[in-house]
């Protein structure tokens, strides 16, 4: 009995020693607390009043809407998304023989602030805007002839049957933040419109996070402005002495 008691006592002491050697694995206490941070962005109020000011593409020099000939379609504010202005196309005055047009004619470059001392010249262009509060800024611009070239001949309306307008040398200009400029703009070539032809695609912004702001879709640059928008009339169509006018419509649409 005594021997058994001694052995048990020794075992208890040994076990206690092992327990004392085990490291303390209790997890340290941790406490976290979160707080909020705030910032707010609002629209530039000056932008809303200046959007219809027509400036030279890629420049801040411009003319107010009132400086554009009153007989032309005036700039409009489309809100956050849409077309602001389309330059009128002036194909000039030409002499023809026997009612036959044997060559193509090109639209003259646009003259801004024509009646002012600070007038300027530029390629013809379409001014548009995308300032939507959206994560997807993909869109496209199309053009259509919604009214044919018509004039007054002998007191009656005469139409230039088969007359077409063709746009080339497309490029973009803007004075807005260059960070938002499209890196892969998709321009079409030989964009031809005619009466009854329907809308023709001209430009597509294919990047969801680019193309934000106000832009000009230009036809040519300083060296090609006079050769970028072409008028053509088939030799089979008769042209009489008259001033002819057509209506061209540009449309801006979102892309899914």
Q: Model confidence over 132-182: pLDDT tens digits? A: 999 999 999 999 999 999 999 999 999 999 999 999 999 999 999 999 999
pLDDT greater than 70 at residue 214:
yes
Lowest mean pLDDT segment, chosen from 42-46, 158-162, 245-249 = 42-46
pLDDT for residue 49: 66
pLDDT for residue 25: 64
Do the domain assignments include residue 7? Answer: no
Closest CA to 133 of 46, 222, 41: 41
What is the average pLDDT score of the chain? Answer: 89
Do the domain assignments include residue 29? Answer: no
Maximum average pLDDT range among 40-44, 115-119, 243-247: 243-247
Do the domain assignments include residue 62? Answer: no
The domain in which residue 108 lies consists of: 75-254
Residue 4 binned pLDDT confidence (cut-offs 50, 70, 90): very low
Residue 131 binned pLDDT confidence (cut-offs 50, 70, 90): very high
Question: What percent of the chain clears pLDDT 70, i.e. is strictly above it?
Answer: 89
Q: What is the pTM of this model?
A: 0.85
pLDDT greater than 60 at residue 212:
yes
> How many domains is the chain partitioned into structurally?
1
Do the domain assignments include residue 50? Answer: no
pLDDT greater than 50 at residue 31:
yes
Do the domain assignments include residue 186? Answer: yes
pLDDT for residue 11: 46
Do the domain assignments include residue 60? Answer: no
pLDDT for residue 8: 44
Do the domain assignments include residue 250? Answer: yes
pLDDT greater than 90 at residue 89:
yes
pLDDT for residue 176: 94
Do the domain assignments include residue 128? Answer: yes
Residue that wins the pLDDT comparison between 150 and 71: 150
């Amino acid at each position: 009995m005594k021997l058994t008691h001694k052995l048990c006592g020794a075992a208890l002491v040994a076990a206690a020693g092992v327990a004392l050697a085990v490291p303390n694995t209790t997890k340290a206490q941790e406490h976290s607390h979160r707080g909020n941070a705030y910032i707010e962005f609002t629209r530039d109020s000056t932008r809303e009043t200046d959007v219809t000011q027509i400036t030279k593409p890629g420049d801040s020099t411009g003319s107010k809407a009132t400086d554009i000939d009153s007989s032309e379609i005036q700039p409009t504010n489309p809100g956050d998304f849409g077309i602001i202005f389309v330059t009128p196309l002036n194909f000039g005055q030409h002499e023809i023989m026997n009612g036959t047009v044997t060559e193509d004619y090109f639209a003259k470059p646009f003259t801004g602030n024509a009646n002012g001392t600070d007038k300027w010249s530029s390629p013809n262009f379409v001014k548009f805007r995308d300032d939507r509060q959206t994560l997807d800024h993909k869109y496209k611009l199309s053009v259509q002839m919604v009214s044919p070239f018509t004039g007054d001949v002998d007191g009656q309306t005469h139409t230039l049957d088969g007359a077409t307008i063709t746009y080339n040398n497309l490029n973009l200009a803007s004075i807005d933040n260059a960070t938002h400029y499209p890196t892969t703009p998709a321009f079409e070539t030989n964009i031809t419109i005619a009466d009854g032809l329907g809308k023709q695609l001209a430009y597509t912004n294919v990047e969801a996070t680019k193309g934000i702001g106000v832009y000009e879709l230009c036809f040519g640059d300083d060296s090609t402005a006079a050769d970028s928008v072409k008028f053509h009339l088939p030799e089979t169509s008769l042209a009489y002495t008259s001033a002819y006018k057509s209506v061209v419509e540009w449309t801006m649409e979102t892309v899914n």
